[in-house]
Amino acid sequence: MVTAAILSAQTLDATVNKTTPTLFAKYKTAKDYANADIEELTDMIRNISFAGNKAKNIINTMKAIQEKYNGKVPNKMEELIELPGIGRKTANTILINAYNVVEGIPVDTWVISRSYRWGLSLNNDPDKIERDLMNVIDKKYWHNWAYVVKTHGRAVCQTVPFCSKCPVNKICPKNNVKKQL
Ligand code: SF4
């Protein structure tokens, strides 16, 4: 979970999904990753963006989990974001999927661009965007907001949106956005 979350930053899901089966077959525990050879790990994830940095972050994160948390991934936001390579987006993803704990909204590239398009946040910084979204979206939707945005984005709200075919075009707040779509 932690490994996949670190790998997924700025990388397509399909690319991560192609890489993880081999990786998970070789490394099964935090200790396995903590003791991994960085060159070997980098080579195994070479198709992932920033492979060298991510390999280093995975190893250092797993070392910290081994040493500070007895091999168990922490379940608190403030502890997760102290780990190398883990920001709020990754921490939110881990908390929601591994622990069913909802502290915020994972802000990925889909959420960033569609938040702007829909006028929900005009900020560029993911943490500020998350704050803006948390102020306007009911908490019961936080856990799957990123998933819904991505699914809707792929279906109709694409780079060039198919607004005439969109099932929510009558309530879409895009008309309130001052800047061009
Ligand atoms: S109407 Fe639908 S497709 Fe168009 S911008 Fe809004 S959500 Fe996206």
The finding on whether 161 has its CB within 6 A of some atom of ligand 1 is: yes
Q: What is the value of pTM for the model shown?
A: 0.85
- pLDDT for 114-160, tens place per residue? 999 999 999 999 999 999 999 999 999 999 999 999 999 999 999 99
Cα separation of 44 and 42, whole Å? Answer: 5
Any residues with CB less than 8 A from the CB of 19 and at least 6 apart, and which? 7, 44, 45, 47, 48
The finding on whether 157 has its CB within 6 A of some atom of ligand 1 is: yes
Task: Indicate the class that CATH gives domain 2-99.
Answer: mainly alpha
Cα separation of 90 and 109, whole Å? Answer: 13
CA 125 to ligand 1 center in whole angstroms: 23
Cα separation of 123 and 60, whole Å? Answer: 31
Reduce the DSSP state of residue 12 to 3 states and report it: coil
> Taking the domains of the chain in order of start, what are their residue ranges?
2-99, 109-176
- pLDDT for 46-101, tens place per residue? 999 999 999 999 999 999 999 999 999 999 999 999 999 899 999 999 999 999 99
Taking the CA of residue 153 as reference, the ligand 1 atom at the shortest distance is 8
